Structure 1
Amino acid sequence: MLEVTINRKSYADRGGRPHVALAGLELCAAPGEFVCVVGPSGCGKSTLLNAVGGLDHDVDGRMRIGAPGASHETGFMFQDPRLMPWLTVLDNVLLVGGQSPEARERAINLLRAMELGDVMHAYPGRLSGGMQRRVALARAFVIEPAVLLMDEPFVSLDVPTANRLRGMLVELWQRCRSTVLFVTHDLREALSLADRVCFLSPAPGHVVLELPVDLPRPRSPEDSNVAQLYARLLAEHPEILAGLADGGAGKEQ
């Protein structure tokens, strides 16, 4: 499970002026729940993930991750793959997963599930952008995290590649049942992935709407039922969704 309360998160902008990124934010996710966070640019989505993931401790608030006595491992997948170019694909995954025989077996099985078995001993520079994202996805799941934090991981990918990765993500999530907190600016992507979507206000960001998504799986952003729900949301909550833009544009293969 995941429980987040942020009373206030501020930092100095480029001009040295204080900027309040998040205030009065409360968010929770049940064990194994897939929650997407959407909101306009600059509303504090990435700031939220950094706070939850422990990358930013200068936050007035509290975080509770995992059930008492359970694993508190947290995985993170960023907007870019962040692979070490001097390590092979397999070694990039083992860098997070550890060097035990069990971790190695998990890493190899994940890379094969990502259809990367033929390149696990290659270096990242040989891989396309989409393949590098698949390595990053395997690395995120290799520790079998209690909570997986994802910061627009499929941004800049072309539509077929992004949809393929979304399908792989959902398949891994359904096997591992990690609690997922997935940040995106693309509402259609959120509706195609989430059990529940949390909408943030403009900065200082806080949750202004929560939407359970009960559409049948599998889904894709192009599905007609996703399009119908998207249109209904735009009609019912234009003031909340005015700052959202469609994603999915990109060139990488």
Structure 2
Amino acid sequence: MTNTILITGATSGFGKAIATKFAAAGWNCIVTGRRQERLQQLADGLTATHGVSILPLVFDVRDRQRVFNQLTQLPAEWQQIDVLVNNAGLAAGRDSFYDAAIDDFDEMIDTNVKGLLYVSKAVLPFMTARRKGHIINIGSVAGKEVYMNGSVYCGSKFAVDAISKGQRMDLLPYKIKVTAIHPGAAETEFSLVRFKGDDAKARQVYDGYEPLLAEDIANTVYYCATLPPHVCINDLVITCTAQANSYYTHKE
């Protein structure tokens, strides 16, 4: 039987790379995102290239009603989800707490924390019914150590870390694995989104060192998801060689 993975935030960055990695390995993929055209292009491309089935679902993980409407009513052939990757997330702004916008706070908390909760709750009944499954939550090194001018983003990723630990304990009776993967600096659309489309600022983040790529995280997710049933990677921090932690990176 072909395995099925559900990936949120699949229109770019980690999510797109994860979908590509798993499709290449013969997995059927449910991919979600807000940008319908990009999502459809991804689905069509993966089907054409790898011959797998792809189900694109267009919604914002912040929209609780739409999340539950879409995911709790999946067609029967898509309900046996083996792996859920809660990837959808973002940083908005890089300002001191005093100067930061409340709207940015809401966007980060609603996406990074509440969105993860909504999707997990919607998908879990399919896993608990089978007593089988794997939730992989994409956190951040910012969820391990706080850095200046990132307090709310860091707080949202600390929440991902804590929720992952709680899920792992609560879901043990159902034989469901929970893995939290915490990437460091990775050259994706992350900084472009954080700086609200300012390409110059976004590119400066990665000057002077070789950051992670989306494919590095996709390879890590695939490794964690394909271990034997009795093995679970609980918690994994991954950075490029030039990065020591959330706030120190050596630049040439």
Q: TM-score range by the shorter chain?
A: 0.3 to 0.5
Q: Give the strand-richer structure, 1 or 2.
A: 1
What is the TM-score with the length of structure 1 in the denominator? Answer: 0.34
What is the TM-score with the length of structure 2 in the denominator? Answer: 0.34
